[in-house]
């Protein structure tokens, strides 16, 4: 081993002399320490990686690379699980305070109250918004959270079968299948009806066919349609299964009804819309809320309020005996690190927009989609599919414009083009062979909408 | 006080160019709107800023001081990583947007993948898993699917008793039965026990190397030969890769599947418990089992490959924690070949240095050089009526984050052990001062144990009552109100 | 460590005491001491029939979770709801108020296979 040049790597403070002094104290040379590798092939001649870059070189390299992305984008007609919303400046500012981002899991509550209390606040918000009794302090994302919900339902009900609505986001469904497959749990799909919703007849008949641990329904569903969760909940409970409600668009929590009022046993979803950027897929935020009677069954960490030795309010992780570090292979999940910082970000976001702001945002999303759809229909090239079914900020439209044409027409408009659905996902519309899932949020300002409609007219 | 407790009706930090039109919105969703409006706090922007700024101040982080939390690799998080990850050209990218419009992000992901392949000696990688345990689950699902196709009777997974709890939990979540392998008197895998347990029902062994006590597995070659000869696979938990970069590669040691914790070895911030990222690498024969999609480069164009015939499916909604991957990417680019080697070298020297300074007061269980961390015992202090917990709490008064305590659990480590991992980020002076503090505390234990028993004294709260929290469950504001 | 003389003990630290053909089952004082502050005692279903060694319930402290096995076979006649509501009873009075279940013995001979108080004291000598 050659000695390291002094101060060559700015993230390693030790100089060559200091390392020599330390080795002297240790009483060994570095080669003595790595003798334990004996007999194993060490990396000869170093890794085949380039030399390190200095910070200024890095910035330049990054800049060249990122300029290969097209853009910039001011709004998105593309949703399907990731949503472009406005992020108030205060949110990233507070969520990136070094005290928050350079800490780890709050195992030592006396020096982690900041993380612990923020997570408690997040849990409180989730309890209110999902209208459930208990929320954990985050999962990875909506898809994995949904999969964990079904695993939990299986632990509680033990029947090796779950029902999943055909209208669930396909990436969520794929994740569910991946998680459930090794446990031999059958994942049966409940058909969609003509309105783009769960078929109640098929649900009823599948529930009657054989025992089921859970029924998973998403609302708004993959096609943007709001499911009749209350009616579904009643049917599910008549058959002694757990009812799992899932959402991909957390903004909907500001307007739509979730939770106990629908008979939900678990509410799961993705909180990316709550102040988090899309960042090409992550990190998102998994939300997981359930009922108190399942407080030994749910996955993930949770913070509780307690007191210190002087009787002062203090927060601490609780219900820990479910977790992997205590119960190992019998744990309710293997989850350890979660998306705590994103939960904190969501807490800051909700604190920032507050009660009236969050409701206003939800309503604005509904209004923007309606404007977009009527504008698209006015061009004569689009018509909404499932016209009779209520939607939040996404909907399916049929169009005479083909996907390649759509992309080129929108090339000059700073928006992400909508998602082209594969043939067969929804029934065909006469004369309009192409279908799109379109999304509109508060980011789609009127002037931008005009540009979109102009390009598509 | 929580935000709810600070809420004043009518206040808001909300500033958007529209007003709530609830009637119109409800008219669009007549039957599904909430009957009642759920309360969120009403806070002014400055109050919100002060609330969270003051909370952040009560938190201890790497930017605050020395954080020798064993097995967690609390190294410095370079600020340039944050700046790059906050670039709108990355943050304002929709994951379902066409690959041709995202060549920059995809190039970053592809180059990261290539670097990780080189660092670990693996043939292919998925960047999808969100953190260590998610990576473990991904890796074990790959092994589960492979065995289902090739040798379905292999339903067990061997895990050393020194392993982190996520290993057995992940194996079990992937559908395997967990069998524990005891450690030998040198802290490694007991080869006789392994020989007995490794039969034709075993799918794989999960190993952390260096293991959770900071020791390199001396018999790794024999283990690899034995397990492979009897039809099993080797899983590498990369939690402790920080000790090995540029020195030795798990792929060359015979491992078939590895996961890496980018938030540990590759300097992305821990975020108070996440998010991290945990790419999973595999040897060629398992590449078709990776979760889809996999980022690839074809004729100079970066794209997603969905065609993996034996894929385990998807582990999450999209392609992984891209913003975390970006930070690790920047770190690897800046360290380069020599920097990564220097990192592991410095991490190992630092751990052995701390061990040398503290051994007279807190003896290590084994008199062997360690890799990136050292496990020391505080067992002797019970005669003064103090426990390791008391010593740890007292460390806070000296301005340090305590090491990992009461882990691992296997003999002779069963009780009163602390796992110290200084990382390469720390200077000699910092480690000297930390060790001085621990030595001073060891004196205090003898002379004034009450000082330890009532510690910490200088923190925003004193010891928090975990039993009270568990017996009087209050996990949301709604519980406080008793409604 | 307290030991109840008229009880018999399993290696997994449960005790059983027979009163008029009915067995009271609980965990030993030694076990509660090892667990620390108990914060949760799981449900036990009345009327279920268990074999010796089956899981009766689980108990949790803030730092550990542990399954409790029934040392004897039989039908669960009654459950101590007081201890599920106030798990701290297990710490304060493991042999008395902290009993977990009453079991109708289906095979009284099993008692002979358990340890006496003296043997248990020796087994758990620190």
- ipTM of model: 0.97
Residue from A262, A224, A222 nearest A244 by CA = A262
- Reading the block at residue B49, the tokens are 């800023």
C55 touches chain A (CB under 8 A): no
A5, with CB counted inside 10 A (0-12, 13-18, 19+), is: exposed
- Reading the block at residue B42, the tokens are 């009403």
Contact A48 B337 (CB under 8 A): yes
Contact B25 A362 (CB under 8 A): yes
- Reading the block at residue A222, the tokens are 């993959």
C-beta atoms surrounding A183 within 10 Å = 14
Query: Is C18 within 8 Å of C48 (Cβ atoms)?
Result: no
pLDDT value at residue B409: 67
Which of B157, B159, B275 is the best mutation test for A, with the most CBs of A within 10 A? B275
Residue from B393, B384, B385, B395 nearest B358 by CA = B395
Per-residue 3-state assignment (H helix, E strand, C coil) for chain A: CCCCCCCCCCCCCCCHHHHHHHHHHHCCCHHHHHHHHCCCCECCCCCCCCECCCHHHHHHHHHHHHCCECCCCCEECCCCCCCCCCCCCHHHHHHCCHHHHCCCCCCCHHHEHHHHHHHHHHHHHHHHHHCCCEECCCECCHHHHHHHHHHHHHHHHCCCEEEEECCCCHHHHHHHHHHHHHHCCEEEEECECCCCCECHHHHHHHHHHCCCCEEEEECCCCCCECCCHHHHHHHHHHCCCEEEEEECCHHHHHCECCHHHHCCCEEEEECCCCCCCCHHHCCCCEEEEECHHHCCCCCCCEEEEEEECCCCEEEEEECHHHCHHHHHHHCCCCCCCCCHHHHHHHHHHHHHHHHHHHHHHHHHHHHHHHHHHHHHHHHCCEEECCCCCCECCEEEEEECCCHHHHHHHHHHCCEECCEECCCCCCCCECCECEEEEEECCCCCCHHHHHHHHHHHC
Report the DSSP beta bridge partners of residue C22: C19, C104
Which of C32, C34, C38, C39 is the best mutation test for B, with the most CBs of B within 10 A? C39
Q: CA-to-CA distance for C101 and A416, rounded, in angstroms?
A: 63
B467 touches chain C (CB under 8 A): yes
Q: CA-to-CA distance for A219 and A225, rounded, in angstroms?
A: 7
pTM: 0.96
Interface of A with B in 117-146 (CB under 8 A): 117-121, 123-129, 131, 133-135, 137-138, 140-144
Contact A321 C61 (CB under 8 A): yes
Shortest CB distance from B221 goes to which of A40, A69, A281? A40
Report the DSSP beta bridge partners of residue A416: A76
Place of tokens 């380039």: A50
Q: CA-to-CA distance for B102 and A323, rounded, in angstroms?
A: 39
Which of A326, A328, A329, A332 is the best mutation test for C, with the most CBs of C within 10 A? A326
Place of tokens 């780890």: A104
SS3 C26: strand
Going by their DSSP bridges, the two strands A242-247 and A266-270 should be labelled as parallel
Region class of A75: left (phi > 0), else alpha (psi between -120 and 50), else beta: beta
Contact partners of A by the rule of 3+ C-beta pairs under 8 A? B, C
The alpha carbon of residue B156 is apart from the nearest alpha carbon of chain A, in Å, by 12
Report the DSSP beta bridge partners of residue C26: C15
The tens place of each residue's pLDDT in chain A, 457 residues long, gives 454 454 568 899 999 999 999 999 999 999 999 887 777 777 888 899 999 999 999 999 999 999 999 989 999 999 999 999 999 999 999 999 999 999 999 999 999 999 999 999 999 999 999 999 999 999 999 999 999 999 999 999 999 999 999 999 999 999 999 999 999 999 999 999 999 999 999 999 999 999 999 999 999 999 999 999 999 999 999 999 999 999 999 999 999 999 999 999 999 999 999 999 999 999 999 999 999 999 999 999 999 999 999 999 999 999 988 888 888 888 889 999 999 999 999 999 999 999 889 989 999 999 999 999 999 999 999 999 999 999 999 999 999 999 999 999 999 999 999 999 998 889 989 899 999 999 999 999 999 999 999 999 9
Q: CA-to-CA distance for B166 and A87, rounded, in angstroms?
A: 35
The alpha carbon of residue A340 is apart from the nearest alpha carbon of chain C, in Å, by 21
Contact C63 A326 (CB under 8 A): yes
Query: Is B408 within 8 Å of B160 (Cβ atoms)?
Result: no
Q: CA-to-CA distance for C101 and C79, rounded, in angstroms?
A: 4
Model confidence pLDDT, tens digit, residues B395-424:
999 999 999 998 776 665 667 899 999 999
The tens place of each residue's pLDDT in chain B, 483 residues long, gives 999 999 998 888 888 888 777 788 888 887 787 766 568 999 999 999 999 999 999 999 999 999 999 999 999 999 999 999 999 999 999 999 999 999 999 999 999 999 999 999 999 999 999 999 999 999 999 999 999 999 999 999 999 998 988 999 999 999 999 999 999 988 899 999 999 999 999 999 999 999 988 999 999 999 999 999 999 999 999 999 999 999 999 999 999 999 999 999 999 999 999 999 999 999 999 999 999 999 999 999 999 999 999 999 999 999 999 999 999 999 999 999 999 999 999 999 999 999 999 999 999 978 889 999 999 999 889 999 999 999 999 999 999 999 999 877 666 566 789 999 999 999 999 999 999 999 999 999 999 999 999 999 999 999 999 999 999 999 999 998 654
A103 touches chain B (CB under 8 A): yes
Contact partners of C by the rule of 3+ C-beta pairs under 8 A? A, B
Cβ contacts (< 8 Å) between B422 and chain A: which residues?
A: none
The alpha carbon of residue B317 is apart from the nearest alpha carbon of chain A, in Å, by 5
């Amino acid at each position: 081993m050659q000695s390291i040049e002094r101060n060559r790597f700015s993230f390693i403070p030790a100089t060559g002399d200091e390392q020599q002094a330390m080795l002297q104290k240790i009483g060994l040379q570095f080669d003595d320490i790595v003798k334990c590798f004996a007999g194993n092939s060490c990396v000869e001649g170093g890794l085949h990686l380039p030399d390190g870059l200095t910070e200024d070189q890095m910035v330049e390299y990054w800049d060249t690379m990122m300029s290969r992305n097209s853009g910039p984008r001011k709004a998105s007609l593309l949703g399907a699980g990731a949503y472009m919303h406005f992020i108030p400046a205060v949110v990233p500012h507070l969520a990136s305070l070094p005290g928050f981002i350079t800490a780890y899991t709050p195992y030592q509550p006396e020096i982690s109250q900041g993380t612990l209390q923020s997570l408690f606040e997040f849990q409180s918000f989730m309890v209110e918004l999902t209208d459930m009794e208990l929320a954990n302090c985050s999962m990875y994302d909506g898809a994995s959270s949904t999969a964990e919900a079904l695993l939990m339902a299986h632990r509680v009900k033990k029947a090796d079968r779950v029902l999943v609505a055909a209208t669930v986001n396909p990436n969520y469904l794929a994740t569910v299948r991946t998680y459930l497959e090794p446990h031999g749990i059958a994942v049966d799909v409940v058909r969609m009806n003509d309105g783009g919703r769960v078929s109640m007849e098929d649900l009823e008949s599948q529930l009657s066919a054989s025992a089921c641990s859970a029924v998973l329904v998403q609302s708004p569903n993959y096609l943007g349609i709001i499911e009749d969760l209350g009616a579904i909940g009643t049917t599910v409970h008549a058959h002694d299964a757990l009812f799992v409600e899932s959402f991909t668009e957390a903004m909907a929590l500001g307007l739509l009804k979730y939770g106990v009022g629908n008979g939900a046993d678990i509410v799961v979803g993705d909180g990316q819309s709550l102040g988090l950027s899309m960042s090409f897929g992550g990190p998102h935020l998994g939300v997981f809320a359930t009922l108190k009677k399942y407080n030994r069954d749910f996955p993930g960490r949770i913070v509780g309020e307690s007191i210190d030795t002087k009787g002062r309010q203090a927060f601490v992780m609780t219900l820990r005996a479910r977790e992997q570090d205590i119960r190992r292979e019998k744990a309710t999940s293997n989850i350890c690190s979660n998306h705590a910082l994103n939960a904190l970000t969501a807490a800051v976001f909700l604190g920032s927009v507050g009660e009236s702001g969050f409701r206003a945002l939800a309503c604005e999303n509904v209004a923007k989609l309606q404007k977009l759809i009527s504008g698209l229909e006015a061009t004569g090239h689009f018509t909404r599919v499932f016209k009779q079914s209520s939607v939040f900020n996404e909907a399916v439209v049929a169009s005479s414009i083909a996907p390649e044409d759509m992309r080129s027409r929108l090339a000059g408009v700073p928006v992400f083009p909508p998602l082209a659905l594969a043939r067969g996902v929804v029934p065909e519309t006469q004369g309009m062979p192409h279908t799109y899932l379109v999304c509109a949020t508060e980011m789609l300002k009127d002037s931008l909408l005009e540009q979109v409609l102009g390009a598509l007219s | 006080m929580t935000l709810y407790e600070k809420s004043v009706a009518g206040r808001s930090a909300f500033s958007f160019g529209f007003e709530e039109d609830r009637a119109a919105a409800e008219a669009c969703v007549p039957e599904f709107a909430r009957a009642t409006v759920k309360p969120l706090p009403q806070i002014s922007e400055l109050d919100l800023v002060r609330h969270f700024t003051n909370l952040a101040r009560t938190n201890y982080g790497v930017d605050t001081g020395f954080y020798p939390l064993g097995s967690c690799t609390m190294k410095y998080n370079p600020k340039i990583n944050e700046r790059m990850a906050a670039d709108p050209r990355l943050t304002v990218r929709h994951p379902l947007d066409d690959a041709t419009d995202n060549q920059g992000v995809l190039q970053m992901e592809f180059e990261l993948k290539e670097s990780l392949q080189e660092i670990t000696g693996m043939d292919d990688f998925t960047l999808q898993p969100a953190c260590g345990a998610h990576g473990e689950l991904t890796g074990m699902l790959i092994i589960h699917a492979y065995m289902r196709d090739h040798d379905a009777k292999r339903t067990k997974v061997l895990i050393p008793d020194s392993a982190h709890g996520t290993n057995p939990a992940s194996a079990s979540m992937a559908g395997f039965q967990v069998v524990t392998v005891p450690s030998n008197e040198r802290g490694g895998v007991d080869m006789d026990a392994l020989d007995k347990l490794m039969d034709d029902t075993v799918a794989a062994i999960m190993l952390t190397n260096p293991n959770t006590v900071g020791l390199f597995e001396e018999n790794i070659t024999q283990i690899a030969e034995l397990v492979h000869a009897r039809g099993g696979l080797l899983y590498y938990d990369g939690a402790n890769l920080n000790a090995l970069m540029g020195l030795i590669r798990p792929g060359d040691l015979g491992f078939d599947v590895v996961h890496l914790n980018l938030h540990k070895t590759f300097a992305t911030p821990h975020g108070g418990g996440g998010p991290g990222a945990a790419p999973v690498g595999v040897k060629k024969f398992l590449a078709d089992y990776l979760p889809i999609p996999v980022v690839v480069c074809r004729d100079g164009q970066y794209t997603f490959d969905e065609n993996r015939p034996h894929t385990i499916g998807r582990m999450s909604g999209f392609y992984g924690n891209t913003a975390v991957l970006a930070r690790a990417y920047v770190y690897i680019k800046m360290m380069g070949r020599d920097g990564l080697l220097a990192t592991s070298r410095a991490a190992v020297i630092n751990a052995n240095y701390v061990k040398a300074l503290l051994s007279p007061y807190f003896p290590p269980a084994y008199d062997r050089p360690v890799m990136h961390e050292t496990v020391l015992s505080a067992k002797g202090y019970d005669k003064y009526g103090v426990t390791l917990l008391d010593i740890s709490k007292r460390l806070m008064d000296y301005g340090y984050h305590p090491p990992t305590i009461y882990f691992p659990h296997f003999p002779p480590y069963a009780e009163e052990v602390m796992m110290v991992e200084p990382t390469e980020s720390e200077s000699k002076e910092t480690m000297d001062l930390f060790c001085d503090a621990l030595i001073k505390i060891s004196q205090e234990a003898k002379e004034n144990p009450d000082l330890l028993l009532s510690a910490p004294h200088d923190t925003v709260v004193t010891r928090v009552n975990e039993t009270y929290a568990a017996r009087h469950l209050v996990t949301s504001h709604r519980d406080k109100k008793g409604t | 460590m307290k030991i109840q003389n008229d009880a018999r003990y399993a290696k997994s630290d449960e005790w059983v005491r027979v009163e008029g053909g009915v067995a009271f089952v609980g965990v030993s004082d030694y076990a509660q001491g090892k667990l620390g502050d108990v914060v949760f005692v799981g449900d036990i279903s009345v009327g279920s029939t268990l074999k010796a060694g089956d899981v009766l319930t689980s108990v949790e402290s803030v730092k550990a979770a542990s399954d409790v096995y029934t040392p004897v076979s039989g039908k669960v006649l009654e459950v101590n709801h007081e201890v599920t509501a106030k798990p701290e009873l297990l710490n304060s009075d493991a042999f008395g108020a902290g009993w977990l279940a009453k079991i109708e013995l289906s095979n009284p001979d099993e008692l002979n296979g358990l340890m006496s108080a003296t043997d248990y004291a020796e087994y758990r000598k620190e």
